[in-house]
Amino acid sequence: MKGERVELRGFGVFSTNKQKARISRNPKTGEKVHTPEKRTIHFKMSKDLFNKLNNEKE
């Protein structure tokens, strides 16, 4: 299951995003550090879950 999105009805959708490689800084020393490209998880909740959490009626 590479790069596919997973949908759970009434709960939300999980998918992956690519985070580009970049130059970042070590906050302690201020030294520049190369951060490689990586994949991250993205979650988007369903409208039903959002409404339940916020006590909203449909």
The reported pLDDT for the residue numbered 1 is 57
**pTM to 2 decimal places:** 0.65
Per-residue pLDDT for 58 more than 70?
A: no
**Cα–Cα distance for residue pair 22/57, rounded to 1 Å:** 44
Confidence of residue 56 (pLDDT cuts 50, 70, 90): confident
- Cα–Cα distances in angstroms (integers) from residue 55 to residues 4, 10, 11, 51, in the given order: 31, 15, 15, 6
Average pLDDT, the chain: 91
Q: Where are the domains of the chain?
A: 6-53
| Cβ–Cβ under 8 Å, residues 19 and 40 | yes
- CATH fold, domain 6-53, is HU Protein; Chain A (4.10.520)
Q: How many CA atoms lie within 13 A of 36 on its CB side?
A: 2
